[in-house]
Structure 1
Amino acid sequence: MRLAELSERSGVSTATIKYYLREGLLPPGHQINATTAEYDEEHLRRLRLVRAMIQVGRVPVATVREVLGHVDDDSLPRAIRLGAAVWALPQVPEPDADDEFVQAAHQEVTALLDQLGWQNAKRLTSLSPAYRSLVVGVAALRRLGYDFGTELLTPYAELMYRTAVLDLDNMEAHSSQQEEQIEFAILGAILNEPVLQALHRLAQEEETTRRYGLE
């Protein structure tokens, strides 16, 4: 397809597509002559991914470029490509290592991983933004006087593991191609997490009404 058709099918203006091409967010099209290039379904799929990351996820262009670099690096094993791509998304800042609540949260989260038997996750704690986010959250709760320790976290973690299994099952059902699977996982990190959060809140509303009624 030509640029105009790519624009029409994606809903992205030709000017924006040209900008994405200049920034390296889209691979160049197949050059027909000095002024014309052809694009295919892979360009359309990548364009939709880029658009979702920038418009919905509010991910900066430089970060999008970094994420896509990991997606396209087929020299890495799939788990590493997937992890590196998701880790490149915007994350919480590094917590203050000298903060007593952060130190206590590190101990709680490490104990949680041990209890769950998540040794792969434990080996990646120095790199994982998810580990860092959990530590920040637990530290904030402890600072407010809530002892959200291993006993309370374990059932939540077990539910999240079942969710992760569903995520990967859906990813594998979506495509057998590693690149498409990783793109699907990135979209999941950007789009699916707000959906899960909304479902969580709806479930809370439902259970609250069942327990206490509306009066």
Structure 2
Amino acid sequence: MRISELVERTGVPLATVKFYLRQGMLPPGEAVSATRAEYGEAHVRRIGLIRALSDVAGLPLGRVKDVLDLIDEPGGEAADQGQDGGGGLPDTGLPDTGLFDALGQAVAALPPYLEDAQPPFPRAEAAIAAIGQVYDERYAAVAQLERALEAVEAGGIPMTEERLHVYAAHLRAMAEYDLSRMPEDGGREAQLGYAVLGTALYDPVVAALRRLAHQDVAARRLGAPPPPAGAETPKGT
């Protein structure tokens, strides 16, 4: 397809497509003449991933390019930068496919931002070790967990070993479910887009469902009868 067709297929303005090409975020088309290039489905998928990472997940374009570089060249310069603290994985036993480095960089860029947080994270590391998970201490979620555990301690409801294991078991089941539905076709771009968008979009869903579950369990424990089938549940109860 011509670049005009690529613009029509993706809904992305021509100027933006050309910007992606100049920045190396979008690979060049196949030259068929001195002034014309042909583009294919891979270009459509790549633009879709760029827009998903930038528009939906909210990653800055600089980080989006780093992620794309890790997909294209798992052992390249972007991966080396990741090993120096940009989100790449050290020797943790995880598969060295480039997808994990890219996912680490992508998710690390999602809010809440913790760029000032530096290891060690003693509370988080102890909790993760207790449930036996493999992790990278530079992954943004480790710093987030450290601050969250510090907050629950300060609030007088510290994380107990029992609560930790109950939470971990259910959250792992959710992760297993999510990743079992990762697309098998479309390559790393499709897998990365699924994983990052799933994290960005479903975190608020999980939080809301947990709060609603608390409301339901509390009401039942206090003896409130369940609402009749099809009846509207009163708000604030």
Length-normalised TM-score, structure 2: 0.72
Letter in structure 2 aligned against 1:22: R
State the partner residue of 2:158: 147
Q: Aligned pair in 2 of structure 1 residues 151, 110: CA closer, same or farther (>3 Å)?
A: farther
Deviation, 1:34, is: 2.2
Equivalent residue letter for 1:141:
V
Distance (whole Å) between structure 1 residues aligned to residue 209 and residue 187 of structure 2: 30
- 1:92 is aligned to 2:103: no
Q: Is 1:81–1:182's contact at 8 Å kept on the other side of the alignment?
A: no
CA contact (8 A) 2:49 2:190 kept: no
Which residue in the other structure is 1:100 paired with? none
- For residue 143 of structure 2, what is the amino acid of its counterpart? R
Quick check: 156-165 or 205-214, which moved more? 205-214
* Deviations, residues 52-108 of structure 1 (Å, cap 9, x unaligned): 1111122111100001111112558855522211221314234366xxxxx8xx444
Q: 2:191 aligns with which of 181, 196, 208?
A: 181
Aligned to 1:49: 49
Q: Structure 2 matches for 1:101-116, cutoff 5 A?
A: 106-116=121-131
2:147 pairs, out of 123, 126, 136, with 136
Classify the secondary structure of the residue corresponding to 2:128: helix
- How does the TM-score come out when normalised to structure 1? 0.78
**Equivalent position to 2:100, from 37, 60, 83:** 83
Percent sequence identity is 33
> Partner of 1:31: helix, strand, or coil?
strand
Pick closer, same or farther for the CA change 1:29–1:192 going to 2, 3 Å.
farther
Is contact 1:27-1:43 (8 Å) kept? Answer: yes
Seen in structure 2, the aligned counterparts of structure 1 residues 197 and 7 have a Cα distance that, compared at 3 Å, is farther
Q: What CA distance in whole angstroms lies between the structure 2 residues aligned with 1:148 and 1:178?
A: 36
SS in 1 for 2:115: coil
1:117 to 98, 113, 132: 132
Counterpart pick for 1:167 among 170, 173, 178 = 178
**What is the number of equivalent residue pairs in this alignment?**
203
Q: CA deviation at 1:115?
A: 2.7
> Cα deviations across residues 7-26 of structure 1 (Å, max 9, x unaligned)?
11111111111111112211
Give, in whole Å, the separation in 2 of the partners of 1:149 and 1:95. Answer: 24
Listed as ranges, the gaps of 5+ residues in structure 1 are 98-102
Distance 1:80 1:130 in 2: 21
Instruction: Tell me how far apart the structure 2 counterparts of residues 2 and 198 of structure 1 sit (CA, whole Å).
Output: 45
Does the 8 Å CA contact 1:116/1:154 hold for their aligned counterparts? yes
Deviation at 1:3, TM superposition (A): 1.2
**Deviates most, 59-68 or 23-32:** 23-32
**Which segment drifts farther, 138-147 or 203-212?**
203-212
Q: CA RMSD in A?
A: 2.8
CA distance in 2, matches of 1:165, 1:143: 32
CA distance in 2, matches of 1:23, 1:176: 23
